[in-house]
Structure 1
Amino acid sequence: MDEAEGSSLSLSNILGENHESLEHPGLNGAPAGGWDEEDGPAKPIEEGTCIECEDQPAEVRCETCSDVFCEVCYASQHRKGSRKLHVVKPLSGLEKPKTKPSAGATAEEADAMDADADNSDDEDWERVVAGPSTEVILSAQPAVGTSVGEWFVERSKFIPLRLNLGERKYLRLLEAALSVSEYTDKIDTIGFGLSKAKRIVQQIRELCAIMSGLLLSADYKRGQELFTDRDFAANAEFYQLIFELGRRHKIMNPDKMRTTYGKLIYLLQDSQTPEVQDLLSFSCVRPIKTVHALLDEHGVMDLLRDDLITVATKEIYAEGRPRRDVQKDIKSKERAIEQLAARYSRKGLSPDDVRLCLYSIGDNHAFLRTNRDPCERMISYLKEYFHPTDGKDAKSSLAIRSGKNGARLSHDHSKQYAYVIQSLTLWREILHDMFHLWSLAESDLLSENVPYRLRDTGQGLNRVQAAPKTSRMMHQILNKAQRSVGAWIGSSVIHMGDHNVPNSLLFIDKYTQIYRILLPICNTLSQIEGLAAKPALRAYIDGEFGSPDGLRREILGDFFRHGFDGSGADNFFDAGSCIDGRLTSAWNWCSTLEKKRYFHVFLLTGFTGFDGEW
């Protein structure tokens, strides 16, 4: 990337579709000025552009201000105070409004752009412009006007290819080497002796030597072919393959490599620095192999547009269905897979490779069902057992007050109801695009142009690194969630590259834990009827909670109140109602579960912990 491109971080880049090209300014000799600073004489604003950012097409007109804005600028400038009452109208596709140069931000606008409102108790509902369309289509389904085939094409760009049998052997080799490595202990420390670059190279070579020895012991002939000369640089392709397998496996299986993936990604992050690459004489990083990349390489993208793709990749559910129907679905899926394998296989792309692509897409569906669907179920429970206009008694009210039972926010029933729905909706959208976010997170972590700083963040030494690509994608997901719920309560700040979320690896780790919180709750709620069918347990439930429905309402009410109350931070300035603080509150509720009077019900349904197996 040249200097001019590397220093560009305009709003057009931030809100654009090309996440891969975004880099951080102020590096590799590029000026470190702010992205809104301009050199030279001021340029006239182009006709039809937003008056605030000056580089995005205008989409709405504020009738009160008599100015035109893009959606993001309008939402940020009209969040609070009298401005949120301004009248806004969408611009038609044919209208090209005249704009005038901005006269600079007023004091009111500066207040509206305040970066963090974490410790506010959300007095204001923040208006979000829905744009010209009143119906917002979420990314959980193809957008209007987009064929299902094109939707599969787009998603396949971020679906890693499932590991085959031979690759799984190498994966076990990598995990064994990482499990005995002390890489982060020796690198992420303030010490003396060798320079950091030399220590990094020494540790990488040591890990590669361990893998070489393990390969030699497992497959002597293969090991002899690769490591006769003991030249690490000559076997760069082998090491790149091994490291890529570990990254690919982790994305597909977030539960795996929980103690070793951090070492792997930090090792690769260090290997990307120019000084280390010069000493090491080879690069450890190569792109993740995806379904899209494999099919595009062999010119068979039409596979993803085939009508059979939906049948060949669908998930088959057995719960509550006759066995005959399940068997029928299995056979139809198998036939579809075999037909596609025969139709699109060719030289260089075997039928097994086609099947692997289809299975990988199916793995993505399984990931969504396990991770995203609990959010849908909790939204359904909220709508079933509570109503935004209820809250007249303690059992039906979700109201919380700052300082009471550890709460940090003050919401009446209707506001808390909306706050919970919008938080669950946002989590659902994040998990739906998790593979895309993970791809961008790794791109930020492994970027040669975005260095990190080792800092004590209050939770030990952490690598604090900016994540521009991940942050931009998160803002787009947040905007989509805001438009779908129609209004936004609380702060919309996304922490990234600070002491709360030091880098994109910790961001990804944070949001892959959502299903660990919600799935045990959903499982317990679904088994209450089974418990109530036993006379002794029914007597306990009726005596303590009134009825099975009363038990469900108590569990849900407590979670919806105190799993979303802004608590969980070590001080008053963290957590709160910001995007990441919502998840912190939910984790804090999990830590208090054993003190709840319904905790025995969780144990009776097989609950072993929020980090256990279900």
Structure 2
Amino acid sequence: MDAFSLDNILSENHENVEPEVINGAPVGGWDEEEVSKPVEEGTCVECEDQPAEVRCETCADVFCEVCYASQHRKGSRKLHVVKPLSSKKPQPVAAAQSTESEDAMDADDDEDDEEWERVVTEPANTDVVLSAQPAQGTPVGEWFVERAKFIPLRLNLAERKALRLLEAALSVSEYTDKIDTIGFGLSKAKRIVQQIRELCAIMSGLMVSADYKRGQELFSDRDFQANAEFYQTLFELGRRHKIMNPDKMRSTYGKLIYLLQDAQTPEVKNLLNFSCVRPIRTVEALLAEHDALDLLRDQLITQATGEIYSEGRGRRDIQKDIKGKERAIETLATRYARNGLSRDDVRLCIYSISDNHSFLRTNRDPCDRMIAYLKQYFHPTDGGKDAAKTSLAIRSGRNGARLSHDHAKQYAYVVQSLTLWREILHDMFHLWSLAESDLLSESVPYRLRDTGQGLNRVQAAPKTSRMMHQILNKAQRSVGQWIGSSVIHMGDHNVPNSLLFIDKYTQIYRILLPICTTLSKIEELAGKPAIRSYIDDEFGSPDNLRREILGDFFRHGFDGSGADNFFDAGSCIDGRLTSAWNWCSAIEKKRYFHVFLLTGFTGFDGDW
């Protein structure tokens, strides 16, 4: 074990450091499978992660509620009798999700014009309530307290300076290029040595840049543990900044997470003698630390954190709202400031909640607007008038479609997809917190695998997956019916880990926002005689143009295309987003593409 020390690893003779035993355990290949462990008593037999909540009398197994619903979604299992582990009468439970093993069956259903399924026993609520506010009957204060648990604190000036240092170091680092490669004959020990050397190089550079004197001492003593707080703070700043600003750190956040993922392995952590990871600083954590959670229950918190809209309002009304909001903020800052919690800290908490509201408006509202457009132009009850233009029917094999739906079924399929996206974005901060927890877990290692799209770190994400199933269950109950597959890919070749899952769903607004922006500017374009003449000649009217753009998106942005098989696209949860991206990639070939350009469109990954 002496040979496998930090001094030897960082010395020039590191090539010869390859012990057969680390921490008393034999060292195998870096890609060896982990030995499965027996399920702990009282734990769900399916996820092996959550406490069991119900017992299936027919299967004679215990499940958590989410896994039971997933396993007993349809077929003969749907009739199984479940007994809660508390003293309640046995009752049949209508399930809402499907399992990975049902993927092939769901795929066949898609291909053969899949059946509609009821997912709840009670009557469905056809008017989906898409609101950012707390549920009816829930106290506003408690809603703020619960949501603040996952709202990161906005960075202050000093933290932003430190963030620039971290971003600069990560931007020039080649960490993932060197670590995530397959080297023939590369043992796990040599791979660990590589990770530690690369990690120490980055951390040493950060220290020298921040404090040259302390950096010199670090090079001579190699005592990283003495600067543990500095590294933990710096890495936490990067993670917190990314969660609040998904558009930022697009090329560096992945390096940061993968670096921390390696630093969390027992071998690396034991050699460094500290963990590089610490919890994200949230609004709730700061207020709880100073016993000031009553701030979130104050009646002024809604006014202090609310957004002020300018659309269709006069300057006087807007100025009145601005002054009212400023007074509310200052009143709260004075009321809840105390020893250790300054007025600026209280303001920072309020501004952080406001940032969350802004995030929700930017990311969720396009889903609401697209649902409104769908109901306005394509509601099934409006059929009969100009049916060729208003029909959303698709047929597998035509125009690249992989699904076969009539108009009513495609309408419902699009509504449920947009509703699900909206629910995911509503809880995105919570999902992100769980995703990082899965990525940085010490007990769930990753395996480097070729997934068909290059080498990726394949890692299970039990916490993120469970939350996604809960969100899916909520969306299914709200729409009352479910069409297609309910499979959520996580930890496989489609979505290798929770980092790629988060990256995928933060792109939803990049798809929908440009479409909504173009549609909203058509009337403005039509006010110019030359462009109005072009629209009338080519499309008949501005309204027909709007209907053609929407109809094409609702048909072919949700047709199961974008991959070679139903396991990668089709109607599964992730496949719906794959189809939308596939539609975006072909936007230049659409005859209405010029209209997008006239409204300022630069691409689905560009700035407006």
**Fold shared by both chains (TM-score > 0.5):** yes
Counterpart residue number, 1:8 = none
Query: Are 2:234 and 1:242 aligned?
Result: yes
* Contact 1:178–1:260 under 8 Å retained in 2: yes
CA distance in 1, matches of 2:520, 2:233: 43
Compared with structure 1, are the counterparts of its residues 132 and 177 closer, same or farther at alpha carbon in structure 2 (3 Å cutoff)? same
Where in structure 1 do 4 or more consecutive aligned residues deviate above 4 Å? 26-29, 32-35, 45-57, 70-76, 88-91, 109-113, 130-139, 220-230
Compared with structure 1, are the counterparts of its residues 436 and 28 closer, same or farther at alpha carbon in structure 2 (3 Å cutoff)? farther
Shift of 1:53: 7.4
Counterpart residue number, 1:455 = 449
CA distance in 2, matches of 1:543, 1:293: 60
Shift of 1:215: 1.5
Indicate the SS of the match to 2:291: coil
**CA offset digits 1:228-275 (Å, max 9, x no partner):** 955322101100000000000000000000000000000000111101
Compared with structure 1, are the counterparts of its residues 133 and 299 closer, same or farther at alpha carbon in structure 2 (3 Å cutoff)? farther
What is the identity, as a one-letter code, of the residue corresponding to 1:157? K
**CA offset digits 1:182-202 (Å, max 9, x no partner):** 000010001256711111110
Counterpart residue number, 2:179 = 187
CA distance in 2, matches of 1:254, 1:38: 30
CA distance in 2, matches of 1:256, 1:490: 35
Shift of 1:141: 3.0
Counterpart residue number, 2:45 = 36
Counterpart residue number, 1:129 = 120
Query: Are 2:421 and 1:414 aligned?
Result: no
* Contact 1:390–1:397 under 8 Å retained in 2: no
Shift of 1:394: 1.7
Identify the match of residue 469 of structure 1 among 454, 463, 466: 463
Q: Any residues of structure 2 matched to 1:325-404 within 5 Å, and which?
A: 325-392=317-384, 393-404=387-398
Shift of 1:517: 0.2
Indicate the SS of the match to 1:376: helix
**CA offset digits 1:367-406 (Å, max 9, x no partner):** 0011111000000000111112455522010000000000
Q: Which residues of structure 2 form unaligned runs of 5+?
A: 1-32
Counterpart residue number, 1:13 = none
Shift of 1:137: 6.7
CA RMSD of aligned residues (A): 3.4
Compared with structure 1, are the counterparts of its residues 73 and 230 closer, same or farther at alpha carbon in structure 2 (3 Å cutoff)? closer
What is the identity, as a one-letter code, of the residue corresponding to 2:120? V
Query: Are 2:527 and 1:520 aligned?
Result: no
Counterpart residue number, 1:213 = 208
Compared with structure 1, are the counterparts of its residues 215 and 490 closer, same or farther at alpha carbon in structure 2 (3 Å cutoff)? same
Shift of 1:28: 8.9
Compared with structure 1, are the counterparts of its residues 417 and 249 closer, same or farther at alpha carbon in structure 2 (3 Å cutoff)? same
* Contact 1:454–1:461 under 8 Å retained in 2: yes
* Contact 1:47–1:96 under 8 Å retained in 2: no
CA distance in 1, matches of 2:53, 2:423: 34
**CA offset digits 1:573-597 (Å, max 9, x no partner):** 4200000000000000000000000
Shift of 1:318: 1.3
Q: Any residues of structure 2 matched to 1:461-500 within 5 Å, and which?
A: 461-500=455-494
**CA offset digits 1:521-560 (Å, max 9, x no partner):** 0000000000000000000000100100000000000000
* Contact 2:124–2:478 under 8 Å retained in 1: no
Identify the match of residue 194 of structure 2 among 194, 199, 209: 199
Compared with structure 1, are the counterparts of its residues 252 and 300 closer, same or farther at alpha carbon in structure 2 (3 Å cutoff)? same
Query: Are 2:316 and 1:324 aligned?
Result: yes
Counterpart residue number, 2:545 = 551
Compared with structure 1, are the counterparts of its residues 111 and 252 closer, same or farther at alpha carbon in structure 2 (3 Å cutoff)? closer
**CA offset digits 1:60-112 (Å, max 9, x no partner):** xxxxxxxxxx79746753535x998x8x9999xx9942579x9xxxxxx9999
Shift of 1:118: 3.5
Query: Are 2:291 and 1:299 aligned?
Result: yes
Counterpart residue number, 1:599 = 593
**CA offset digits 1:113-150 (Å, max 9, x no partner):** 72442452342112111559969877743223310000
Query: Are 2:155 and 1:163 aligned?
Result: yes
Counterpart residue number, 1:114 = 102
CA distance in 1, matches of 2:391, 2:577: 22
What is the identity, as a one-letter code, of the residue corresponding to 2:171? S
CA distance in 1, matches of 2:525, 2:241: 38
- Give the length in aligned residue pairs: 558
Query: Are 2:530 and 1:536 aligned?
Result: yes
**CA offset digits 1:424-466 (Å, max 9, x no partner):** 0000000000000000000000000001110000000000000
CA distance in 1, matches of 2:130, 2:82: 20
Shift of 1:212: 1.8
Counterpart residue number, 1:146 = 138
CA distance in 1, matches of 2:300, 2:403: 50
Q: Any residues of structure 2 matched to 1:245-284 within 5 Å, and which?
A: 245-284=237-276
What is the identity, as a one-letter code, of the residue corresponding to 2:569? A
CA distance in 2, matches of 1:252, 1:83: 42
Q: Which residues of structure 1 form unaligned runs of 5+?
A: 1-25, 40-44, 58-69, 103-108
Counterpart residue number, 2:12 = none
How does the TM-score come out when normalised to structure 2?
0.85
* Contact 2:125–2:478 under 8 Å retained in 1: no
How does the TM-score come out when normalised to structure 1?
0.84
What is the identity, as a one-letter code, of the residue corresponding to 2:498? S
Shift of 1:306: 0.3
Q: Any residues of structure 2 matched to 1:59-74 within 5 Å, and which?
A: 73=68
Shift of 1:223: 6.5
Compared with structure 1, are the counterparts of its residues 342 and 573 closer, same or farther at alpha carbon in structure 2 (3 Å cutoff)? closer
Shift of 1:27: 6.8
Compared with structure 1, are the counterparts of its residues 499 and 53 closer, same or farther at alpha carbon in structure 2 (3 Å cutoff)? farther
CA distance in 2, matches of 1:83, 1:236: 52
Shift of 1:282: 2.0
CA distance in 2, matches of 1:451, 1:199: 17
Shift of 1:281: 2.4
CA distance in 2, matches of 1:424, 1:480: 13
**CA offset digits 1:7-43 (Å, max 9, x no partner):** xxxxxxxxxxxxxxxxxxx97984379953899xxxx
Over the matched positions of the two proteins, sequence identity in percent amounts to: 73
CA distance in 2, matches of 1:364, 1:544: 42
* Contact 2:309–2:318 under 8 Å retained in 1: yes
Counterpart residue number, 1:20 = none
* Contact 2:435–2:463 under 8 Å retained in 1: yes
Indicate the SS of the match to 1:462: strand
CA distance in 1, matches of 2:362, 2:330: 27
